[in-house]
Structure 1
Amino acid sequence: MTPAWWGALLGAVCAGGLLVAASRVRVIRRTQIAVRVLPYVRDLPHVGRTPALRVASSSPTSAAAGIFGPVLRSAADTVERVLGGAASVRRRLERADIDKTVHEFRVEQVMWGLGAFAIAAAYAVLRTLADPGAGLSSLLLCLVAFVAGVLARDNHLSGQVKARERRILAEFPTVAELLALAVAAGESPVGALDRVVKRSGGELSSDLGRVLAAVRTGEPVGAAFDRMAATTGLPLVARFAQGIAVAVERGTPLAEVLHAQATDVREAGRRELIEVAARKEVFMMVPVVFLVLPITILFAFWPGVVGLHLTAP
């Protein structure tokens, strides 16, 4: 088969894939009956409701799962059996505030692996056309690309967790001070929490909003903050939640606890900034030592070396 026929075949396959994806996107974009009705029956109990009545997501992963559902689910189960660590994945999903199950995350990993596999397969086809004897190495490259894509999604989840925790640490002193001011002005802990959540936005505010929702459903304030301390991955936020829980249970002054927590976080931020600056100082020496210093030595000694060569008999 000539390269022209190979190009025509690949073009036909890509066009067919685009047509299938476009048809599925049109179906997904239609407003479902559950989306129109559920806002008006939100207070009804969910007992006996089947998983089929769940509102379908419009993410690319859900679209791919709708088209190739059984294949992707079996591949996700295989990835789960090979990698394991479902508890760690669930914990990181909670810390990253991603509303997905472990199985949905495994499907995403398979999708990332298939994307990397497709890129490697395209390169392998071009390489095979130029060198027909490179088929085995191209197949190994595709397998390595699939594994790299699966692991890249896991690393990306860890990066999402770290990015969200950095945002929480940046927001924490302000939110703690606002809570302290509201409590010092005479608000109850729940009232101060409600006021701060309504007037602030961010990752920490969303976590406090979940605590407020739990308190309003009848859970004790101390128990809600204890659960927040158990689920968070930041020691500072855990101490903050535990401090509020202890202050509410034992009746200690809450405003002083919140001010002390905000001060501790600011001091920790200053220490981290100093440590980062110290590490950056070492990195700043690299261009000075390996670029600026050799050029300076060259400009200083090269004229003398040329002069010695010219004056030597």
Structure 2
Amino acid sequence: MTLASWGAVLGLVVAAGLLLVWARVSAIRRPQLAIRVLPYLRDLPELGGTAPLASTGAVGGVFGPLLRVAAHAVERVLGGAASVRRRLEQAGLDQSVHEFRVQQVVWGLVGFAVAAGYGVVRSLTGGADPLSSALLCLVGLALGVIWRDHHLSSQVRDRERAMLLEFPAVAELLALAVAAGEGPVAALDRVVRRSGGELSRELARVLADVRTGRPVGDAFDQWAARSGQPLVCRFAQGIAVAVERGTPLADVLHAQAADVREAGRRELIETAARKEVLMMVPVVFLVLPVTVFFAFWPGVIGLSLTTP
């Protein structure tokens, strides 16, 4: 082939490459159907396991598919989607199970990176074993995944503890509003607008359900179903029964607040009884030695001064 033929072939290859690049860029820049429809579906509830990743930047675009595949793998291995969904609702997190699995994968990768960094440091010092380093990385990955699940459980416990602390005051406010002549919905609205906290957010959800057309009793029954606290369930069921049967609601709310205060006092006494030995540790190992030291040190000094 002549030089002109080689130039023609090279020009055709370059033109074909540029054409492919232009076609791919135009396909990428074309808005997808999901992106065009998503603004009209923001108010609808998300389907479990189909929510996209929160990050839509370059990192989410590059690593999003891999994270989604890893999240599905974690879901197949661990399972328990119903338990995770219930705990997410109890923790007040606006997440789907799939997003939580993605977070577990990210935490696992962080644990893997920490273990890998430790393995690299050991290899630089000359005391690294490839098999032990690989096992350590796998253990770090598993611990990261498990720790995210444990952190979710701790978030649920912290939120339930905060709700129990807020419960007597909110119940008394509801009782005062009902005793002043307001209805259950108006009393809920007043308490939600005047208070803040985890319990107030749950009552705001109940109020939103009532305003969308759900009966008051059904809204409180649904709150009792998704709550994991016996006292809150009893409170919600008591309000539902009082609204349905016409029981004086103010008396029910006062009784519920008194029950919660008594339960908190009883729990405090039980906690103090369980930690009685731990409470004696500072007394035995700190206060008592200092007292003995101050009692006997002057006598020791006196004896040392009087003896020849």
Shorter-chain TM-score: what band? 0.7 to 0.9
Give unpaired runs (5+ residues) of structure 1: 1-33, 304-313
One-letter identity of the residue aligned with 1:192: A
One-letter identity of the residue aligned with 1:268: A
Number of the residue aligned with 1:169: 164
Distance of aligned partners of 1:63 and 1:243 in 2 relative to their CA distance in 1, 3 Å threshold = farther
Distance of aligned partners of 1:112 and 1:175 in 2 relative to their CA distance in 1, 3 Å threshold = same
For 2:211 and 2:227, locate their aligned partners in 1 and report how far apart those are by CA, in whole Å: 21
Distance of aligned partners of 1:104 and 1:286 in 2 relative to their CA distance in 1, 3 Å threshold = same
For 2:144 and 2:230, locate their aligned partners in 1 and report how far apart those are by CA, in whole Å: 32
Number of the residue aligned with 2:155: 160
Q: Does 1:93 align with 2:73?
A: no
Number of the residue aligned with 1:256: 251
- Give how far 1:189 is off: 0.6
One-letter identity of the residue aligned with 2:269: I
For 2:91 and 2:236, locate their aligned partners in 1 and report how far apart those are by CA, in whole Å: 18
Q: What are the equivalent positions in structure 2 for 1:1-313 lying under 5 Å apart? A: 57=54, 65-131=60-126, 134-288=129-283
- Give how far 1:286 is off: 3.4
- Give how far 1:58 is off: 5.4
> Which whole-Å deviations, capped at 9, do the CAs of 1:109-168 have from their partners, x for residues lacking one?
110010011111111011112226512111111111111111100100000000000000
- Give how far 1:284 is off: 2.0
For 1:247 and 1:183, locate their aligned partners in 2 and report how far apart those are by CA, in whole Å: 12
For 1:119 and 1:95, locate their aligned partners in 2 and report how far apart those are by CA, in whole Å: 31
* Alignment RMSD (CA, Å): 3.1
One-letter identity of the residue aligned with 1:191: A
User: What's the TM-score, normalizing by structure 2?
Assistant: 0.75
Distance of aligned partners of 1:64 and 1:270 in 2 relative to their CA distance in 1, 3 Å threshold = farther
For 1:251 and 1:169, locate their aligned partners in 2 and report how far apart those are by CA, in whole Å: 27
- Give how far 1:283 is off: 0.7
Corresponding pairs, count: 260
Between stretches 128-137 and 287-296, larger displacement belongs to 287-296
Distance of aligned partners of 1:289 and 1:182 in 2 relative to their CA distance in 1, 3 Å threshold = same
For 2:144 and 2:117, locate their aligned partners in 1 and report how far apart those are by CA, in whole Å: 15
> Which whole-Å deviations, capped at 9, do the CAs of 1:57-88 have from their partners, x for residues lacking one?
459xx885443112111111111111111111
Distance of aligned partners of 1:50 and 1:242 in 2 relative to their CA distance in 1, 3 Å threshold = closer
Between stretches 106-115 and 74-83, larger displacement belongs to 74-83
User: What percentage of aligned pairs have identical amino acids?
Assistant: 67
Contact 2:122 2:128 in 1 (8 A): no
For 1:173 and 1:50, locate their aligned partners in 2 and report how far apart those are by CA, in whole Å: 36
Larger C-alpha radius of gyration, 1 or 2? 2
Contact 2:110 2:144 in 1 (8 A): yes
Give unpaired runs (5+ residues) of structure 2: 1-34, 300-308
For 2:288 and 2:133, locate their aligned partners in 1 and report how far apart those are by CA, in whole Å: 45
For 2:58 and 2:150, locate their aligned partners in 1 and report how far apart those are by CA, in whole Å: 23
User: What's the TM-score, normalizing by structure 1?
Assistant: 0.74
For 2:130 and 2:52, locate their aligned partners in 1 and report how far apart those are by CA, in whole Å: 45
Distance of aligned partners of 1:199 and 1:152 in 2 relative to their CA distance in 1, 3 Å threshold = same
One-letter identity of the residue aligned with 1:79: V
For 1:214 and 1:91, locate their aligned partners in 2 and report how far apart those are by CA, in whole Å: 18
